[in-house]
Amino acid sequence: MTKVIVIGAGVVGASAAYRLAQAGAQVLVLEANRPGAGTSGISYAWTNAHRKPPLPYHALNVNGMKTHAILRDELGATPWWHGGGSLEWTEPERWDSFRANIEQLNGWGYAASYVTPAQVHELEPDIDLSVLGDAPAAFFPDEGWCDPVVYIQAMLSAAIRRHNARILLGARVVDLLMHGDRAGGVRLADGSVHEADVVVNCAGRWTNDAVREAGLHLPMAPTPGLLVFTPPVACGLSRVLHTSVVNVRPDGAGRLMLHWDPTDATLSLDSAVSTDMPQVRDLLARVKRVLPGIGEVSAEAVRLGIRPIPGDGFTAVGPVPRVSGYYVAVTHSGVTMSPFLGLCLADEIMRGTERPELADFRPARFFN
């Protein structure tokens, strides 16, 4: 039986663990902290393939969206995934690029259609249409959002209960065990050793920290993202909303999650964040313009997430040159893509089937 170690229990590691165990591997997940403790627990988690050119990268995301849907058929229910589509409009300076995006998405066969203010009102009656004004608005019916930690739990539970995978928590990997040019397992911070035929590094932004050998390190370009959470509010928002003033989505039990790209640009990877910082008050004022019904509200929580982005901005999944038995899987948009990446890893590692969808996203491109 092929023994596989998966480093990290975020969305990527949990997806890999489930599919590898299902394909017959004896899987051991080693998680330094707890499942979902990394970026997956602090994510906007919008499942989409929106503004993700070029086509192969867009397609990777579409495959992720489709695989989320396959899980619904496979497991009977996917309580972590919330459909309903997304609505978008932008500020006037971006209308040309907005229209170009819709045209490109339609050209690629992705569902995206313009909607009138009356249709926006029908979909989301609590939106103040004066903020929309005469902006072009679009609806993306196949999009949604995910509760990543609930997803992770479901994948790990399926791997463990159905396919005898194991997980060790508090297990920080510090190095690969090398047998010549072959990875034969890992060493943990406490000095213990775990042998395996294959090691799959799914440690997200910490991918390089788990292996001491600098020659195996990927260039990384992480970016910070601020998420603001309201308390439960009496507002009927039921889908992802990207507007000219704020991005907002439901986050369960009446809470809203707010995000705004320009705010991220004011922060660094180690910025301290708090509910009373000016950026948070600004996001709350912005969301009140779009959804005035929420009234005066303070932030219940604020979190800074760090996006695990490989150096050129694109996904890196596959073997690493010069060492056999060692794979990495690191990506932004991991909430969208991870169900598909798990399938691909299982096909490649357990069935020996190379997935053409990953051809442009091999870690080897960084090791010339």
- Name the residues that contact ligand FAD, by CB under 6 A: 7-13, 30-33, 37-40, 42-46, 172-173, 202-206, 209-210, 225, 227, 305-308, 330-336
User: CA torsion angle for 100, 105, 111, 113 (degrees, to 10)?
Assistant: 10
What is the spatial distance between Cα 261 and Cα 330, in angstroms, rounded to a whole number?
Answer: 22
Q: Supply the minimum distance, in Å, between the C-beta of residue 23 and ligand FAD.
A: 19
State which residue, 16 or 323, has the beta carbon closest to ligand FAD: 16
CB-side neighbour CA atoms (13 Å) of 68: 31
Rounded distance between C-alpha atoms, residue 103 and residue 13, angstroms: 35
Peptide bond into 278 cis (omega under 30): no
Q: What is the gyration radius of the CA atoms in the chain, in angstroms? A: 21
Judged by beta carbon, residue 184 or residue 308, the one nearer ligand FAD is 308
Least distance in angstroms from the C-beta of 334 to ligand FAD:
3
Closest to ligand FAD by CB, 295 vs 313, is 313
Nearer to ligand FAD, 22 or 207 (CB): 207
- Give strand pairing partners of 241: 87, 248
- Tell me whether residue 121 or residue 172 sits nearer to ligand FAD (CB atom): 172
Shortest distance, CB of residue 20 to ligand FAD, whole angstroms?
14
- At closest approach, how far in Å is the CB of 47 from ligand FAD? 6
CA nearest to 315, candidates 336, 335, 289, 333: 333
Q: Which of 248, 271, 267, 243 is nearest to 258 (CA)?
A: 248
Alpha helix (H) ranges present in the chain? 11-22, 55-75, 95-107, 117-123, 129-132, 148-157, 163, 261-264, 278-290, 334-350
Cβ 98 to ligand FAD shortest distance, Å: 18
End-to-end, the C-alpha distance of the chain in Å comes to 34
Q: Which is nearer to ligand FAD, 11 or 176 (CB)?
A: 11
User: How far is residue 230's CA from residue 80's CA, in Å, rounded to a whole number?
Assistant: 20
Q: What is the DSSP letter of 167?
A: E
Minimal distance, residue 292 CB to ligand FAD, in Å: 25
By C-beta, is 37 or 75 nearer to ligand FAD?
37
Q: C-beta of 60: minimal distance to ligand FAD in Å? A: 11
